[in-house]
Structure 1
Amino acid sequence: MERSWDEELPDCYYKQNQPCLIKPSSPTPHHMLYLSNLDDQKFLRFSIKYLYLFQNSLPIDLLKLSLSKVLVDYYPLAGRLKSSHHHHELEHDEDEHDEHENEDEHDDKLQVDCNGEGAIFAEAFMDMSAQQFLQVSHKPNKSWRKLLVKVDAPTFLDIPPLLVQVTNLRCGGMILCTAINHCLCDGIGTSQFLNAWAHLTKKPTDILPITPFHSRHVFKLQSPSSHLPLIHQAFTKNVPNHTLNQDLQSQLLVPASLIYTPSSVLKLKNQCLPSIKCTTFEILASHTWRSWVKSLDLAPSLEVKLLFSVNIRNKLVPKIPKGYYANGFVLACAKTNVKDLVGGNLYRVVRLVQEAKSSLNDDSINGIVELLDDKSIKTDLNASLVISQWSRFGLEDLDFGEGKPLHMSPLTSDIYCLFLPVIGDSNAIRVLMSLPENVVSRFEYYMNDFTD
């Protein structure tokens, strides 16, 4: 029998004395870790929550031991976030998009107190088999939150940077969920950490393939320039009282999930030939942005934006050190009005995306870092689609010694759009995002339409 994606999961039963703290297995540096302006954006004050399903479980003691070992190198994850002034009153809510702190609160700079307090680790059991979960794994739903321990914390700052829950299943399989504070690292960093943990689980006496580099001083402003940096298109100083994204979030959101194989990507690329050559990301981002705007039925004159993360680890001179464990991306921004986006050819949209990408050079990246020193500058989420690429980080290759995962996804779906890897087809991409219930079928219709 086909199971419905929104089916409620059974409850998790926690082992006694759970959750517990896992501290680094040997002494680690004790200091305040400076966060760069790229780490310390309001936009990133939430946790990246991953879910992995494995056919076979591992002994819990082995996972705890290897976690305590990997936290020696990744010691900031065992620390605690602190505000540079201690009078923080940040809002915290379990909803992903509500987890961002209240916009009107203090604009304090955050730092990490590397005190070795430890990561939160919970062990649970769920009366379900791996195959049963696989049948409902197409789209996340609210009941998946049971799979990650909930920390009773008054504010976002009080939640430890790393939460882990291992849920053993009836069949001998397991679900691993992790929440990693986005202020400490981006998707590349998260993948680097998870793969390091898996590596030490398999080979406890080995050294890590990549040594994490924690210092963020590569992005520390030496002396602010005399001129005011131009406000980059992805940011704004004047947040409108009422935004399209707030409108969307106030409605009942339902996830849409679509898989693009190389042949469907080729159909999209063929629409742009001979005018333009493009990457898979560029064509898929352009098609998704246009489908999103078409499905929302917006005013033709409204200016809409596409914001997408661009890895800058190899873009800057001098280069960022190998293993840089922090946020090493900036948001590129393409913008146009609804009429031109919906009415024009797909290759024109691709050109906007390519121009947004190529405008990110040393000067503009340094300008963004300087701009973010002003805490009243916010990411412009008014009529913007935000796309985050998770499909090229090796997240789907995570192997603790019992084989690669049967499934990998975020724990929750949000109005941000994710490009995810597809287990078993390294060339396919899954597009996942949430939309108001009455919009989803229109969005899926446009996303499956390969004619221009």
Structure 2
Amino acid sequence: MAIIPPNPDMQDLKVTFQESTLVFPLHQTNKRSLFLSNIDQMLNYNIPTVYFFAANPDHPPHLAAARLKLAVQRVLVHYDFMAGRLKLNPDTTRLEIDCNSAGAGFVLASSDFSLHQIGNLVHPNLGFRHLAVQTLDNVDSDNQPLFILQVTSFKCGGLAIGLCVNHILLDGMSAKGFNQNLASQAFDDEPLAVVPCFDRRLMTARSPPRPAFNHPEFFMPDLALLSGPPVFDCKREELEYRVFQLSPSHIKLLKEMAESETRISSLSVVVALVWKCKALSKQEGGKERVSTLLNVIDLRPRLQPPLPPTYCGNALLVAYASATCEDIERLEFREMVKMVAEGPARVTDDYARSAIDWLEINKGLPCGEYMVSSWLRLGFEEVVFPWGKALHSGPVISHRKDICWVFPTDDGINALVSLPSPEMDRFEACFRNFFAPESDRADV
């Protein structure tokens, strides 16, 4: 078990920006409006990620950048919506994507450092935000791209690929397919690695909508105060960042503590631990406060008939678990794991269709104290570019204190946590206490 704070000496990577431009599909695409599902509608925020690559003498950074620029142009022919712009349909008050070939972003930069000088790439480094910019300074605010790719070269000949993607465009599984296709187009004369399914109407609400379940995982905003779809966001404040690493032996211990006769996933025990630490780190509301965990799950295999595995869009839902902080403090760990596991088990085809219909009527947003999003099965680290696989890939830290990203390490699991300082101190103390001998545990 390890807790990795930011590296204070490496938060300024001395990045120089050399090119910032729009790139367009290599061939003309048809102008159209892309329907967005109710789940797409509520995910209007950026997800920046970064991928680090070791130096490859056959593919120095300037040649890799040229290949990537052409690869973006090629892939946009197929993913035309990623070169489009969001627009509000005044008749339906729904967001759509105007597939108008307005362009994606392409940024070229360099750092004064070598990768080995930066050190452990798993560190939640504030400087990494300069490796995946979220806007183009030379583009008007009303024409900002929904997708930006940045290539940053390092003194050692290594490079980083930063991707900033509006979540409306892709969920995790869609992003995996997109990355595979982007990599394939960086080779010469390669077909797409994955044939995506772009029919987002597979996730449309029924007509008329007929929700059959209560959906406490969502709340209903005051639509009278909104001019368009509500935005899922959180207050911006000063945060601290930690990566909590769990080795295979720690995960094995967590599973033993779960004491289940049925198979328990590694994710379930990690999520249960994260939930416990988060619930007990927040003191407002006292022990009577109800803490609700939201666990992001893939709907593709849960719908009937199942969605194509290559469905491109947001085919996800949040499964919930709720308990008072008093209960969370006293419950056996196995009870918390059981509650976490019951959430996804609840999401059948009927439940998912009901949720989509509920969102059609209420224009709701996720309602919970903390959301956990797992990247464990996405395989971003397995994507092969002409210059090889990434040394490390993962999310870039952001202002989202309400989301914990879980991603793989070489032989274990990482949890990226972002919290205000007092909460982070209590979260870390709870995490350490959990693995400490009972005689050494302190009050949190």
Task: Give TM-score scaled by structure 1 length.
Answer: 0.85
Count of residue pairs brought into register by the alignment: 411
CA distance in 2, matches of 1:274, 1:197: 42
Q: Is the 8 A contact 2:88 2:94 kept in 1?
A: yes
- Aligned pair 1:179/2:164, yes or no? yes
Show CA shifts across 1:209-252 (max 9, x none).
21111111112224124x5654412111268xxxxxx9x95653
Q: Is the 8 A contact 1:304 1:335 kept in 2?
A: yes
Matched residue SS, 2:40: coil
Q: Is the 8 A contact 2:82 2:147 kept in 1?
A: yes
The match for 1:54 is: 53
Q: Is the 8 A contact 1:5 1:136 kept in 2?
A: no
- Aligned pair 1:393/2:367, yes or no? no
CA distance in 2, matches of 1:365, 1:281: 21
State the shift of 1:404 in Å. Answer: 1.6
Show CA shifts across 1:252-279 (max 9, x none).
3101211111110011111122566411
Matched residue SS, 1:439: helix
Q: Which amino acid in the other structure matches residue 388 of structure 2?
A: G
CA distance in 2, matches of 1:306, 1:273: 21
Q: 1:154 to 1:72 in 2, by over 3 A?
A: closer
- Aligned pair 1:370/2:357, yes or no? yes
Matched residue SS, 1:438: helix
Q: 1:355 to 1:274 in 2, by over 3 A?
A: closer
CA distance in 1, matches of 2:189, 2:372: 39
CA distance in 2, matches of 1:371, 1:290: 29
The one of 132, 142, 147 equivalent to 1:148 is 132
Show CA shifts across 1:337-394 (max 9, x none).
111111110111111111111110111100110111135422214xx11000012101
- Aligned 1:157-236 pairs, distance under 5 A: 158-202=143-187, 204-225=188-209, 229-236=212-219
Q: Is the 8 A contact 1:81 1:160 kept in 2?
A: no
Q: 1:228 to 1:273 in 2, by over 3 A?
A: closer
Show CA shifts across 1:61-95 (max 9, x none).
21111221122222211111111139xxxxxxxxx
CA distance in 2, matches of 1:430, 1:84: 40
CA distance in 1, matches of 2:346, 2:140: 41
- Aligned pair 1:14/2:17, yes or no? yes
CA distance in 2, matches of 1:372, 1:406: 40
Show CA shifts across 1:143-163 (max 9, x none).
3322234325776x7431110
The one of 253, 260, 267 equivalent to 2:253 is 267
Q: Is the 8 A contact 1:3 1:135 kept in 2?
A: no
- Aligned pair 1:444/2:428, yes or no? yes
The match for 2:33 is: 32
The one of 406, 418, 423 equivalent to 1:434 is 418
Q: Which runs of 4+ in 1 moved over 6 A?
A: none
Q: Is the 8 A contact 2:76 2:83 kept in 1?
A: yes
Q: 1:178 to 1:317 in 2, by over 3 A?
A: same
Matched residue SS, 2:357: helix
Greater shift after overlay, 282-291 or 59-68? 59-68
CA distance in 1, matches of 2:424, 2:114: 30
Q: Is the 8 A contact 1:235 1:378 kept in 2?
A: yes
Matched residue SS, 1:372: helix
Matched residue SS, 1:19: strand
- Aligned 1:28-107 pairs, distance under 5 A: 28-41=29-42, 44-56=43-55, 57-58=60-61, 59=63, 60-85=65-90
CA distance in 2, matches of 1:276, 1:324: 31
Matched residue SS, 1:50: strand
Unaligned ranges ≥5, structure 2: 223-231, 439-444
Greater shift after overlay, 2-11 or 112-121? 2-11
- Identity over the aligned pairs, expressed in percent? 27
Show CA shifts across 1:31-55 (max 9, x none).
11100111111xx111111011111
Task: Give TM-score scaled by structure 2 length.
Answer: 0.86
CA distance in 1, matches of 2:317, 2:102: 31
CA distance in 1, matches of 2:252, 2:329: 21
The match for 1:405 is: 390
CA distance in 2, matches of 1:21, 1:75: 14
Q: Which amino acid in the other structure matches residue 355 of structure 2?
A: I
CA distance in 1, matches of 2:189, 2:305: 34
Q: Is the 8 A contact 1:268 1:450 kept in 2?
A: no
Show CA shifts across 1:95-116 (max 9, x none).
xxxxxxxxxxxx9311111122
Q: Is the 8 A contact 1:37 1:369 kept in 2?
A: yes
Q: Is the 8 A contact 2:115 2:156 kept in 1?
A: yes
The match for 1:5 is: 7
Q: Is the 8 A contact 2:122 2:243 kept in 1?
A: no
CA distance in 1, matches of 2:193, 2:180: 9
Matched residue SS, 1:38: helix
More helix by share: 2
CA distance in 1, matches of 2:5, 2:373: 29
Q: Which amino acid in the other structure matches residue 7 of structure 2?
A: W
Q: 1:151 to 1:439 in 2, by over 3 A?
A: same
Unaligned ranges ≥5, structure 1: 87-106, 240-245
CA distance in 1, matches of 2:80, 2:290: 44
Show CA shifts across 1:299-323 (max 9, x none).
1111110001110101111121241
Q: Is the 8 A contact 2:375 2:406 kept in 1?
A: yes
